[in-house]
Chains A and B, each alone.
Chain A
Amino acid sequence: MRLLTHNMLSSNIKGVINGFPLRIEAERVVVKQVDFNPDFLKNMFSKIDWKALADASKIMGYAELPDEVPDPSVLDSDEFLRKFHHALLELHLEEGALVCPETGRRFPVNKGIPNMLLHEDEV
């Protein structure tokens, strides 16, 4: 699972008000190269919760993103876009868990696939 997906996911447990961002427990992170596409990144930039992305990439071992939300003018910088690209699309959480920030419920991640199935009493 890439951080793009982590940035979209939120805990769906009944009664949870703010299930985002899911805390990452990283046991194994892998890097997979993907084609660089500035248009996609520019289009995604405004949709990304920056703090969640910067924090998550740090936990995944990549500390190159600024902590504060960058000014959109950085989208003209190739250097910035490459870092954004790497954090968003190339870091994969392979083994570990996503943890609901409100209830502490763990959603295990195996072979890169988070198990978001809820128990009966969580629906």
Chain B
Amino acid sequence: MSSRPELQAPPEIFYDDVEARKYTSSSRIVGIQAELSERALELLALPDDGIPRLLLDIGCGSGLSGETISENGHQWIGLDISRSMLDIALERETDGDLILGDMGQGLGIRPGLIDGAISISAVQWLCNADKSCHEPRLRLKAFFGSLYRCLGRGARAVFQLYPENNAQRELILSFAMRAGFAGGVVIDYPHSSKKRKEYLVLTCGPPSMSTATPSAKGEDAGSCSDDESSGDEENQTAQATKEAKANKKGKTRAWVLKKKEQMRSKGNVVPPDSKYTARKRKAHF
């Protein structure tokens, strides 16, 4: 049988109670999804002004990607087609609001208000026809069209995805462009079969400097084959994760302290700073 979950069953069937729990209790998956989400947020390039933004997490699942959004200080609304995945998100007490919905039916969201969207390991699901009434092209059109409408002008949407092949990547990209998005594909570590990760970076509005596709990571790995450099890669990954974590924690706490100071100077009553200030919330199981 294929190892691609997309080819095994429709998402709301594949991600049942058992799979949803298995998915979310694997520390390997938790780590990977956090890293992908962190990179997607970086590619989203939100203004660095400390103001929390309102983001969408499409195919939010059990909230692993959303947690990264919360850690970066933003608000989010998550959409997923699997009730089992959303139930786990409830258990984990994620901060975002959750909606049971099918992105292929289009997003029912008022126009022009959302500051950005991410989608981690989800959009490739749209390329399958899981029901007789499913026509992937119509579903991609409905999805990208509605996403384009609900985003503010200049806002970005970043999709980390696993296309099955070139044709699928082209198909997804072409429907994004038709909806009016500018942008393209960013491939991090293109020379490594293990670390290679693919992101669709889209901007709402006509092409301009700001819609130019950002540069990828690890593009100049030269002729190193995966096997030769795999030991090194593990190291690099660990190092990168560590840096990302330290950076994330530091930024958040510093930011909160700064905000509290600002509020105090305005004469507001603000709780005293303690070791709990801006502490990362523990996941609940």
Contact = CB atoms under 8 A, between A and B. Distances in A.
Interface of A: 1-2, 4-5, 7-12, 19-20, 34, 37-40, 43-44, 47, 49, 78, 111-118, 120, 123
A43 B94 CA distance: 23
B100 interface: yes
Given A5-B99, A112-B98, A117 B113 contact: no
20 contacts: A1-B97, A1-B98, A2-B97, A4-B77, A5-B99, A8-B110, A9-B108, A9-B110, A12-B146, A34-B95, A37-B259, A40-B52, A43-B52, A113-B83, A113-B99, A115-B100, A117-B81, A117-B101, A118-B105, A120-B133
B100 A116 contact: yes
A114 B100 contact: yes
B101 A116 contact: yes
Interface string B104-115: 011111100110
Those 7 A-B pairs whose CB atoms lie nearest each other, nearest first: A12-B108, A116-B101, A5-B97, A40-B52, A39-B51, A115-B100, A47-B113
Given A9-B99, A9-B109, A10-B109, 17 more contacts: A2-B97, A4-B77, A5-B77, A8-B110, A8-B113, A11-B108, A12-B105, A12-B146, A37-B52, A39-B50, A39-B52, A39-B259, A40-B75, A115-B101, A117-B101, A120-B133, A123-B133
B90 interface: yes
B102 interface: yes
B99 A116 contact: yes
A19 B86 CA distance: 25
Contacts of A38: 263
Q: Looking at chain B, what size class is its interface with the partner chain?
A: 35 or more
A86 B8 CA distance: 44
B165 interface: no
A55 B85 CA distance: 32
A32 B97 CA distance: 12
B54 interface: yes
A41 to B, nearest CB: 10
A42 B144 CA distance: 29
